[in-house]
Amino acid sequence: MKRRQRNDTPGIFWKLYGRAYWVAHDMIYPKKRGIFALSDKKIDAKKMSNLPTYRYLTGMALLNDKIYVSGGAETQTMYFPTNLVEAYDIKTDSWEEVCPMLKPVHHHNMATLDGYIYKVGGFPFRVEPTNYAERYDPNKDIWEEISPSIHKHATNHIIGHNGKLYVSGGRYKAAEILEQYDPKQDSWEVLSKMLLPRGHHKSVVYGDEIFFIGGDIAHMVHNYDHVTAYNTNTNEWSLKAKMPIQLSELGACEYKGYIWVFGGERGWTVSRNILRYDPRKDNWEVYGIMKVPRYACQAIPTEKGVFLLGGNVKCGWHNFSNLNELYLL
């Protein structure tokens, strides 16, 4: 780490994974923590039944008209994750507690595939990643262990596509790895190195491509505006148009033919922005601003609209949000 000047802006070069990243001082030592918006167009959201439990850094997935919220931290520390799982019925606007995960974890993500919900990686304690994986059967209300991933992932993202799971990025060596899981064989393989190492990002499927959006390389220190895509048919990578702002711990999903980004963090500030990406034109626009700014929230697309759940309203381990809002975009 070397202190230098670039374009008369004080900062440092942060070397990670064999690459040098420029980080401005105001990203590391902010004058104040706050909220930023690129628009004054407020997008209205319908308030729904809030999460029963205040939690942070949870995993979420939609299956059979229910949104499942798993794990996370219930206290203002990384030392005590939970294995609690709660399910939200989008038809009745009500919550219920279901079978807990086999192991407590935070900084993980979940994905739905062929009637199951899969959870891979995370931090089971403090900041040591795991390769432990399990899946949930909603018909039997049970979790069962599956084969562990090859690399230990945390702050990673996971998504299902064409009968396979794709687990991307995370911390340390796994930050540049894309792995694929075959549930029929209960086996893993490393597909590729990612174009950019990243964690706290989101992956979204559109057509035959998986888009990897935002994230960071050294939590709160170097946030990305970069977007890359992996074609699952050709196994080729491509660079896409950058987001208008650098963001990590954002909410993102595909909805009505567009990719949407909600909130997120940049340094020690929280984004209030809603961004929309048109994959046909490869361009971004600032669509508007959220009713309540949040980061580390999850965007779940449904027939009713996009549910935005949980997260944090200020940077740091405080001000957990149990908010559940429905955006009619």
| Cβ–Cβ < 8 Å for 44, 94 | no
Distances 41 to 171, 257, 276, 313, 323 between C-alpha atoms, Å: 36, 22, 14, 19, 21
- Give the Cα separation of 43 and 289 in Å (integer): 6
- State residue 260's pLDDT score: 98
Average pLDDT rounded to a whole number, residues 259-272: 92
Largest CA distance in the chain: 61
Average pLDDT rounded to a whole number, residues 200-227: 89
| Cβ–Cβ < 8 Å for 310, 296 | yes
Calculate Rg over the CA atoms of the chain. Answer: 19
151, with CB counted inside 10 A (0-12, 13-18, 19+), is buried
Report how far apart the first and last C-alpha atoms of the chain are (Å, whole number). Answer: 44
Is residue 135 scored above 50 in pLDDT?
A: yes
Is residue 76 scored above 50 in pLDDT?
A: yes
Of the chain, the percentage scoring pLDDT greater than 90 comes to 74
Is residue 19 scored above 60 in pLDDT?
A: no
Q: Which of 138-142, 199-203, 310-314 bottoms out in mean pLDDT, i.e. has the lowest?
A: 310-314
Per-residue model confidence as pLDDT tens digits over 165-194: 999 999 888 999 999 999 999 999 999 999
Pairing mode, strands 177-182 and 187-193:
antiparallel
Average pLDDT, the chain: 88
- State residue 27's pLDDT score: 45
Kind and range of the H or E run holding 136: strand 133-137
Exposure letters 198-228 (e unless 16+ CB within 10 A, then b):
bbbbbbbbeeebbbbbbbbbebbbbbbebbb
- State residue 77's pLDDT score: 62
- State residue 7's pLDDT score: 44
Is residue 131 scored above 50 in pLDDT?
A: yes
CB atoms within 10 A of CB 302: 15
Is residue 251 scored above 90 in pLDDT?
A: yes
The residue extents of the domains of the chain are 1-31, 32-327
Alpha helices in the chain (DSSP H): 25-28
- State residue 98's pLDDT score: 98
- State residue 37's pLDDT score: 85
User: pLDDT band at 78, cuts 50/70/90?
Assistant: low
What angle (nearest 5°) sits at the alpha carbon of residue 155, between those of residues 261 and 186? Answer: 105
Is residue 209 scored above 50 in pLDDT?
A: yes
Question: What is the length of the chain?
Answer: 329
- State residue 73's pLDDT score: 87
Is residue 221 scored above 90 in pLDDT?
A: no
78 or 55: which carries more pLDDT confidence?
55
CB atoms within 10 A of CB 127: 12
Per CATH, the architecture of 32-327 is what?
6 Propeller (2.120)
User: pLDDT band at 218, cuts 50/70/90?
Assistant: low
- State residue 4's pLDDT score: 40
Of the chain, the percentage scoring pLDDT greater than 70 comes to 86
- State residue 17's pLDDT score: 46
User: pLDDT band at 315, cuts 50/70/90?
Assistant: confident
